[in-house]
A and B are shown apart, each in its own frame.
Chain A
Amino acid sequence: MTDHPHQTHQAHHPQHARHPDSTVPAVPTIPDPRAVLAECKERVLEREGIPMYLGFEFDDAGTVAVTDQTALAEGALLAPLVGHYRAQLSPDAGDGDEPALIDVLQVMAIAHLDLDLDLGGAR
């Protein structure tokens, strides 16, 4: 067992609520996310870097909203990818299924970490 972020798949409690994948991503997506996920899981976690997107939650967000145009533009492209890859990887995962969410974020990071640079295109 390792650490923390993104490597723990202990509390897997799918709620069997199918996600309505109604949003079409505005960027090309990888054709086989399951293969990318499998590749990721085969990495030697003790010695290989694993890229990851993390949400940034601030409780004082009631008074502060992100206005950075680059972050908003990237986020607008990234947000639909969550639903897209969720439908591809874990269509039956419930909204609070954290292990499934971690898988999606990992695949997104591996495939789209450079999204901000070209604002389009998967690897």
Chain B
Amino acid sequence: MTNTMTNTNEHGADAGAAETSFAGLTAALAQGRFLRVVNYHNTPAADGEQLEAELARYGERYAPVSLADLDRFRTTGRWHKDRPGIIPVFYEGYRNNAEVAAPLAEKAGLIAWFPIITDFLDVPVAEQYGYAEAHDIGLVPEDVRGERLAMTWEQVGELSERHVVTPHTANHRATEEIVTPEDFEREIFAPKRRMDEVTGQSAALFAFLHGTARAHSPQHAQALEDAGYRYLISNTMIQHLNGSTKHSEH
């Protein structure tokens, strides 16, 4: 088991207990260890103009952030671009994330990150609306029952060529719902295998429903490491996972 609860780094921040605390975040900021993100979910075409303006504004002021950029910052302590980075994050795996948001991010010169509920993509189109309702996937009036709401695996593969795609559990589960070995296999391990198979890459990040941090569930963090993930996106942190140097860096 990873000793995340007692690991204290040389910068004085307890990497376990303090990681989601005011003290931990204050220390991270003071030490220059922080990132800017903008969290999105559903991106209907009706909002395209507004989204385009937002992303364009971010693109003018900030630099795109790839996984390689993140790794480089972590391992060297230096940000190598002329502007600070920003990460637009589009959660869930909505069809309109691929068809509306991704092109706009590209137009703005940004790299978007897509945490994807992997089983959502495999639900028959006619059942996707009901699946979304049952799995805390936010719908908007533009979403029509019976139409395809999730992106396809082919779109995931295409996105992976220019953006960051990574699992957000298989069925939008929180750690409290991932209990048995079967749960762990279904929600943590299988999504990575499937995504890696489609992209030919190694999915590096993971996010639980409700943004559970590492210290709040070491058992799940260990499973993430065992599966080969390298980062956990929590509510207040992007956390590099212990021992992940044994996995490929990119």
Which residues does A use to contact B, with CB under 8 Å?
A: 1-8, 10, 19, 44-62, 64-68, 70-72, 74-76, 78-79, 82-83, 86, 93, 95-98, 100-102, 104-105, 109, 113-114, 116-117
B107 within 8 A of A: no
**Of A61, A76, A82, A114, which is within 8 A of B25 by CB?**
A82
CB distance from A122 to the nearest CB of B (A): 16
A51 touching B79, Cβ below 8 Å: no
Interface centre among A5, A67, A95, A104 (most CB of B within 10 A): A5
Q: Assess the A95–B233 pair: CB atoms within 8 A.
A: no
Q: How far is the CA of A113 from the CA of B54 in the complex (A)?
A: 13
With a cutoff of 8 Å between Cβ atoms, the chain A residues found around residue B199 in the complex are: none
Residues of A within 8 A of B10 (CB): 61-62, 65
Structural contact, A49 and B235, CB atoms closer than 8 A: no
Cβ contact within 8 Å between B211 and A3:
yes
Q: Return chain A residues, CB-CB under 8 Å to B145.
A: none
- Given known A-B contacts A49-B38, A60-B240, A64-B74, A74 and B23 have beta carbons under 8 A apart: no
> Do A2 and B41 touch across chains, with their CB atoms under 8 A apart?
yes
B19 within 8 Å of A (CB atoms): yes
CB distance B76 to A56 under 8 Å?
no
Instruction: Judge if B21 is at the interface, Cβ distance under 8 Å.
Output: yes
* CA of A50 to CA of B39, assembled, Å: 5
Chain B, interface residues (CB within 8 Å), range: 35 or more
Residues of chain B having any CB pair with chain A under 8 Å:
7, 9-11, 13, 15, 17, 19-44, 47, 51, 54, 61, 73-79, 84, 88-89, 91-92, 115, 136, 138-140, 168, 172, 207-211, 213, 233-242, 245
Q: Report yes or no: A57 in contact with B41, Cβ–Cβ below 8 A.
A: no
Q: A55-B24, A82-B25 are in contact. Are A101 and B236 (CB under 8 A)?
A: yes
CA gap between A53 and B36 in the complex, in Å = 5
CB-CB under 8 A from A2, the residues of chain B are 41, 136, 138
A44 and B39 CA atoms in complex are apart in Å by: 12
In Å, the complex CA distance between A4 and B35 comes to 16
Q: Which residues of B contact A105 (CB under 8 A)?
A: 25, 236
Query: How close is B59's CB to chain A, nearest CB, in angstroms?
Result: 13
Q: Most chain-B Cβ atoms within 10 A of its Cβ — which of A47, A72, A76?
A: A47
The answer on a CB contact under 8 Å between B77 and A64 is yes
Q: Which residues does chain B contribute within 8 Å of A78, judged by CB atoms?
A: 29, 34
Tell whether, in the assembled complex, residue A46 and residue B41 are in contact, meaning their CB atoms are under 8 Å apart. Answer: yes
In the complex where A3-B210, A5-B233, A5-B235 touch, is A49 in contact with B74 (Cβ < 8 A)? no
By a CB distance below 8 angstroms, the chain A residues around B54 are 49
Interchain nearest-CB distance for B75 vs A (Å): 6
Q: If A82-B22, A116-B84 touch, does A55 touch B39 (CB 8 Å cutoff)?
A: no
Instruction: Name the one of B22, B30, B209 contacting A95, with C-beta atoms under 8 angstroms.
Output: B22
Q: Bound complex: CA of A5 vs CA of B238, how far in Å? A: 10
